[in-house]
Chains A and B, each alone.
Chain A
Amino acid sequence: MAHLWIQNARVIDPAAQRDAAGDLFIADGKFVGSLSAAARKRAKRIDARGLVACPGLVDIHVHFREPGQTHKETIATGTRAAAAGGFTTVVCMPNTSPPADNAGTIQFIKDAVRRDAVVHVYPTGCITVGQKGQVLAPTGSLKRAGVVAITDDGDCVQSNELMRRACEYAKMFDLPLMDHCQDASMTQGAVMNEGSVSTRLGLRGWPNAAEDMIVARNVILAEYTGAHIHLQHISSKFSVDVIRRAKSRGAHISAEATPHHIALTDAALAGYDPNFKMNPPLRTEVDRRALIAGLRDGTLDIIATDHAPHTDYEKDKELDFAPNGIIGLETALPVTLDVLVRRSQFKLAFVIDLMTRRPAALLNLSAGTLAAGAPADVCIFDPDEKWRYDAKAGQSKSGNSPWHGQTLTGRVKTTIVDGCVVFAGGKIVGG
């Protein structure tokens, strides 16, 4: 296996509190402290002058649609979108067709990953059979098959009793539960945040109270059972407050924010464009600012994309009828840098931490570090390059992005997985 020598980068490694100019050395797929003079001669060199080199990004919330909805995305195309966005480790959700609620389906996904993936993929399994919220899925078998968490994804478990038992049971296997917090009885037919904008547009509203209810429920159950509940894509200020107080009591709760919820508000729905329709919905400016404050003080632990591909013909509909979700892997880094670093004065190394070490640590993934001996997963990006994002020309099979056609600042130049360059010069390359 070739040696790699990344030269003259601004190296950011949050795990080692490193943020300094320097080089990175890779041998046999792992980081090494340095290379011998002989090895340096043979090493492939990457000139990273003016660029940032950091651990490969980690996204613990993606939808790769395989098996069953491969017209939207596959493990092959989804992992290529990840690589193009600087992500080297992703965790895929189990809302496939059929849902990943048994060891056989997990094995199917792992086989596809081994065959087709260009980045590391970890599967999750369902909390309940068929994501139906009625009977617990075989959590132990799922764990043995390799899941890193369980979740019913968009079909939040509505029964408090069942969720309580799921927490107790999963704790036995040390498996986190990831929950999409939504009281479904309060969101029937809803297509956007309930508020002034939905009232003006005549659209059914999804009140933040429906999220806050389940966030509070999960805080209560995490404290009662001791299980780790990870709260997905928090979008409401009230929820941030609930989580902040729960964490101050030591509850085993973690939470994520998406690039779109920290960048956009429900005002973006004024044109009824389905590429701004997702679940949970974009909320108000007050909520958006609360999410940023929550990331700043650690109430919200990480950034995750909720990369949710849908084809053009599925999205190109009346807003009421279009499916929820947008893709995010290829825009997450520039959008997050823009919101948090440029507009909110976060330190760059802190933002990298939100997208590398911390998400890896939440699920005990071997990722998010540049330490010697660790898998050599690297993201090299230009924080200042401006480029026009064409969602139709991206690596994802789908193009449902609110940033299509916009100029973004910050661009991934090279992505390295296990010491192999998988993305460079705007293209996926063979290892």
Chain B
Amino acid sequence: MPWNRRHLITLEELSLAEIVQIHVTAAAFKRTLRRSVKKVPALRGKTIVNLFLEPSTRTRMAFDMAAKRLSADVISVDAASSSTTKGETLRDTAQNIEALQADMLVIRHAAAGSPLYLSRILDIPVINAGDGAHEHPTQGLLDTFTMKEHLGSLRGRKIVILGDVLFSRVARSNIHALTKMGAAVTLVGPSTLVPHWFTDLGVSVSHDLKSALADAEVVMLLRIQHERQASSHFPSLGEYTSMFGLNKTRASWLNPKAIIMHPGPINRGVEIDSELADGERSVILEQVANGIAVRMAVLYLCAGGQPESVLQTG
């Protein structure tokens, strides 16, 4: 089946087959990354603009690295150096980027829906690198890619997403990917951060950590996003840690082979015990490494590449 999308805005709109196509393509790129010469010429001559209007370290570095591994030219613009701080509208900023003849735009923005907005006004592919609390599709793709490497098929697997779900775009993208892949997803956290409306997305909601973690094969922790909260969602970080932080005792409730994931940045001692973050069940750094291959796949496909021709690109 050929790949037909130019934009990657959400995982909600992708079919299972499209998610699988991205995973297969990512796996092929991951093999090229093990070679001594890691670069492939797939996007040679193309210019990719990374417009990061909200702070990011991991995602931005991964997109940067992915584009360079594909031999594209990359320009990264962050919030501080963009004209939006001078009052320029997003439309004007984007049209200027297009006028500079960029071939693709990767956008990180605090406002949900802004990548969709850009995809409607620009003629070049737009890749969502995180929009507010809405979606972070490449994170959802790399997380499910990492899970598949450890668990094989995710059908019927018990997967727990624990923490600040309300404000998490990572959670939403994972929910859409995981439900399409047949996993049994449970969201866990304080009732103020995991409202019951999430059940409409086909997942379970629980506020009882012990029963939720029992025999789970994946636990994905989410950072408590102090910066997004109006302050009244829970009493204190200390209370959060005592009620919902993942520590060794709680980790023992998991399936013995369970993996521990976190999209980063982690708050050691808050949502996760420091030793667990570094422990053998933690795949946090694998997620980061897989983020490059997955983003190579997304850039490559949305630029017009086809899954089956990846191996020839080397």
Contact = CB atoms under 8 A, between A and B. Distances in A.
Interface of A: 188-189, 195-196, 198-203, 271-272, 313, 316-321
Contacts of A199: 166, 195, 197-198, 200-201
A319 B112 contact: yes
B200 A202 contact: no
Contacts of B111: 318-321
Contact of A272 (B112, B169, B172, B197): B112
Nearest to B111: A318
A196 B200 contact: yes
Contacts of A313: 89
Say what secondary structure dominates the interface of chain A: loop
A189 B230 contact: yes
B135 A202 contact: yes
Given A195-B197, A272-B113, A203 B132 contact: yes
A196 B197 CA distance: 5
A202 B132 CA distance: 7
A316 B116 CA distance: 13
A200 B90 contact: no
Interface in B192-208: 195, 197-198, 200-201
A202 B131 contact: yes
A201 B91 contact: no
Nearest to B116: A272
A360 B134 CA distance: 45
Given A271-B116, A316-B89, A200 B200 contact: yes
Nearest to A319: B113
B117 interface: yes
A2 to B, nearest CB: 50
Contacts of B117: 272, 318
Instruction: Tell me which of A201, A202, A203, A320 has the highest count of chain B C-beta atoms within 10 A of its own C-beta.
Output: A202
Interface of B: 12, 89-91, 109-114, 116-117, 131-135, 166, 169, 172, 195, 197-198, 200-201, 230
A203 B131 CA distance: 10
A199 B171 CA distance: 11
5 contacts: A199-B201, A202-B135, A272-B113, A318-B109, A321-B111
| Residue in B110, B116, B135, B197 with the greatest tally of chain A CB atoms within 10 Å | B197
Given A202-B132, A272-B113, 4 more contacts: A200-B201, A202-B112, A203-B112, A271-B113
A189 B229 CA distance: 10
A201 B110 contact: no
B230 A318 contact: no
Contact of B112 (A196, A316, A317, A320): A320
Nearest to B118: A318
A265 to B, nearest CB: 15
A317 B89 contact: yes
A391 to B, nearest CB: 18
Contacts of B201: 199-200
Contacts of B12: 200
A287 B198 CA distance: 20
Nearest to A200: B201
Nearest to A322: B111
Contact of B114 (A188, A196, A201, A318): A318
B195 A188 contact: no
Given A202-B169, A203-B112, A271-B116, A318 B135 contact: no
Contacts of A203: 112-113, 132-134
Given A189-B230, A318-B111, A321-B111, A201 B134 contact: yes
A405 B71 CA distance: 44
Contacts of B230: 188-189
Contacts of B200: 196, 199-200
Contacts of A320: 110-112, 132
Most A CB within 10 A of own CB, among B114, B135, B201:
B114
Contacts of A198: 197
A202 B167 CA distance: 7
A318 B113 contact: yes
Nearest to B114: A318
Contacts of A321: 111
Contacts of A188: 230
B172 A202 contact: yes
A316 B166 CA distance: 27
Nearest to B12: A200
B75 to A, nearest CB: 22
Contacts of A318: 90, 109, 111, 113-114, 117
A18 to B, nearest CB: 49
Contacts of B169: 202
A313 B113 CA distance: 17
Contacts of B89: 313, 316-317
A202 B170 CA distance: 11
A311 B109 CA distance: 24
B169 to A, nearest CB: 6
Nearest to B168: A202
Nearest to A313: B89
B71 to A, nearest CB: 33
Contacts of B172: 200, 202
Contacts of A271: 113, 116
Contacts of B110: 320
B233 to A, nearest CB: 12
Contact of A202 (B90, B91, B134, B195): B134
A318 B131 CA distance: 11
- Of the candidates A189, A200, A316, the one having the most CB atoms from chain B within 10 angstroms of its own CB is A200
Nearest to B112: A202
A426 B90 CA distance: 36
A271 B115 CA distance: 11
A398 B55 CA distance: 35
B135 A316 contact: no
A319 B132 CA distance: 11
